[in-house]
Amino acid sequence: MSFDIMLHTPTFALAVPLLFAFLTILLSKFSKKVGDVTFLLGLLLTGYFVFLMSYRIFTDGGWVYTFGAEEPITLNFFRITFIADGFAALATITIAITAIAAGIYSFGYLQKKMPSDKFYTLFLLTLGGVNGMVLTGDLFNLFVWFEVTSVASCALIAYENHRGRSVEAALKYMVLSVVGGLIVLFSIGLLYGQYGVLNYALLSGNISRIFLDKLALGLLLVIFAMKASSVPMHMWAPDAYGEAPGPATPFIAITSLGSLFVLFRLLFGVFGVGMDTAAVGAVLVILGVLSMFVGVTMALVQDDLKRLIAYLSVSQVGYMTMAVGVGLATLNTVEYQNFGELAMKGGFFHMINDGVYKALLFLSAVTVVHKTDLRSLNDLGGLAHKMPYTTVFFLVGAVSIAGIPPMSGFSSKLLIYRSVYLYNPILAVIALVVSIITFAIMGKVFFNAFLGPDQGLTDGEVSKLMLSGMAILTAMVIVFTLFPGLVVSELVTPAIEALSEGVIP
Amino acid sequence: MTLESILMTLPYITVVVLFSLGLFTVLFKKNLIKIIMGIALMQNGANLFLVSLAYRRGDYAPIFTSAESTDMVMPTAHALTLTSIVIGVATTALLLSFVIMIKKHYGSINTDDVRRCKE
């Protein structure tokens, strides 16, 4: 039996960050440089294996990776399985891009302020946890990775523990996550008690519309929507994003995007056949509209730069929830062919877009805060004179999040407007209005912080490493802007096909 | 209702009591330590729920005995419970260490005093 590395890539996407998480802290004892290199190596290797996995998925189709067995899973064997399909590829690619950019950025950031070795460990642990969450094929594993991600990301938020506020934000998020995790465990118990299986594929054949299944569905939906920072369970997000240490901020946002991926996987893969898709889709649409609207309204009144972007990120999560909700509501009907599929395409294209430009916005905001030690928009001004690169990076992110043509944010939002209009015209109108308000907010921030006379707040650009972290994300945004059709046909369409067909048995 | 069926439902009643007591504590208590105690109660409720689900009357425990493999209960729920206990220790430790930091910075562990993020 030969060792086929391509077959085992899902394991490596998880094992590499976990291994390097503890290697970095060990090797950092020798010198800081060795630790830095190990961290970068871990990130790049993870990205490499994610790339290999996606390559195999796109050329040969998806597969179920079963740990410790070659035969496919049967009812009597409780094997740990990973599902590597188009959906997992889209999710892991989004996570990997942001993780690598944020990781490179953190080299420059951590130099003077705080010890870096433990930061790297927590960062890689979170990366491993999120990868496990989106790849896993059974509920048992889902719970474990959910908790790994919670613990590691909360410790990451509280990393600057000389400030009380970051510990407060971490405590808030941690209490919510732990209670959420217990409720996830409770609903796993509900499903296991009835069907005696935990595997997604086996469960999806059993799910019916009885009360206990609906209860489990409702609990899982609420908890994963909470982790994805969807209104009305969004109150932790501005605190956590606002108080997390700079380079970790986009990564915490990606963690919650990962939870959204898991929510969609559960809804389509596990509950898809057995539930009332129209009703659950409508619930997602309502959550999405609420998130869009409340997020952008709260962003209007913020003057703290990081909190403002955090609220905008809540409102962006609404777009995806709404679009995928429309797709779910029309699943298996004629309307799915007409516009449901298009809505899903828009939603998922927006997810990968949003992951990238949100990270870019967070990193450029962090750069401003790092350089000036000011967070309030009232105190900032004239930064463009001394920080031309950061200004350009922020502008690219701002134009993209506002959905201005021809940026990538516009392509995905256009797909959403067109398809959602056919489901209910009011939704498209709300989405447009929210987009316009987002544009106004970004305009305000840009003029306030970057334009105007030089106030001498900064003495120049940040280090080259930090700039190159942001440059990677800018390059990705430009790639998505130039080739939206390619991204939709090569990345997003396989994900939607994998999702709407349910999980591979 | 026989005595036996009452005894069989007793674990589930305990689960409901533990879980709702914990949830009540988390939602309505102002002391951070008490909130963490509430979380611990909920953890125990969830663990008891899983263990009670795994019980099959008349079957053997899944350890090495001469019993037929079909007569043994599935150990999945037990494995899940053990994992959950371990995770519970980690989360409780992290939460308590957060509370120590909060006490250092704010001089109080009352939730009314710990709200600087909103400012």
The ipTM value here is: 0.93
What pLDDT shows up at residue A443? 92
Q: Which of the residues in chain A have pLDDT under 50?
A: 1
Tell me the pTM.
0.93
User: Look-up: residue for tokens 């504590």?
Assistant: B25
A234 Cβ neighbours under 8 A, 6+ residues apart: A291, A294, A295, A314
Tell me what the mean pLDDT of segment B20-30 comes to.
93
The pLDDT score that the predictor gives to residue A457 is 80
- Is B52 or A454 the better-scoring residue by pLDDT? B52
**DSSP letter for each residue of A102-147:** HHHHHHHHHHHHS-SHHHHHHHHHHHHHHHHHHHB-BHHHHHHHHH
- Mean pLDDT on B77-86: 91
Residues of chain B in Cβ contact (below 8 Å) with chain A: 19, 23, 26, 32, 35, 39, 42-43, 45-46, 49-50, 53, 74, 76-77, 79-80, 83-84, 87, 90-91, 94-95, 98-99, 101-102, 104-106, 114-117
C-alpha distance from residue A7 to each of A33, A58, A78, A87, A319 (Å): 34, 13, 20, 17, 35
Q: What is the pLDDT, as a whole number, of residue B118?
A: 66
Is the Cβ of A161 closer than 8 Å to some Cβ of chain B? Answer: yes
The nearest CA of chain B is from the CA of A161 a distance in Å of: 7
pLDDT at B80 over 60: yes
Nearest chain B alpha carbon to A303 = B119
Token look-up 């460990």 returns A121
**What is the Cα–Cα distance from A310 to A207, expressed in whole angstroms?**
37
Determine the Cα–Cα distance for residues A346 and A322; give it in Å rounded to an integer. Answer: 10
Neighbours of A143 (CB within 10 A): 23
Q: How confident is the model at residue B55 (pLDDT cuts 50, 70, 90)?
A: confident
A256, A229 in Cβ contact below 8 A?
yes
Tell me the average pLDDT of chain B: 88
User: Which chain B residues touch A140 with a CB distance below 8 Å?
Assistant: 76, 79-80, 83
Q: What is the distance between the alpha carbons of residues A100 and A97, in angstroms, rounded to a whole number?
A: 5
Instruction: Please tell me the distance from the alpha carbon of residue A362 to that of residue A470, in angstroms, as a whole number.
Output: 10
- Interface check for A176 against chain B (CB to CB < 8 A): the answer is no
Which pLDDT tens digit goes with each residue over A189-204?
Answer: 999 888 888 888 888 8
pLDDT for A72: 57
CATH number of B3-106: 1.10.287.3510
pLDDT at res. A127: 95
Interhelix angle A341-372/A86-113, rounded to 10 degrees, is 0
Between chains, do B101 and A175 touch, taking CB under 8 Å as contact? Answer: no
Span A155-167, pLDDT tens digits:
999 988 888 889 9
User: How far is the C-alpha of A87 from the C-alpha of A238, rounded, in Å?
Assistant: 28
Q: So what's the pLDDT on residue A162?
A: 85
Select from A147, A171, A188 the Cβ nearest to the Cβ of B98: A171
At residue A111, the pLDDT reads 63
Which of B98, B99, B116 to mutate against chain A (most A CBs within 10 Å)? B98
**Rounded to whole angstroms, how far apart are CA atoms A473 and B75?**
46
Contact A286, A222 (CB under 8 A): no
Dihedral sign computed on CA atoms, order A95, A245, B93, A175: negative
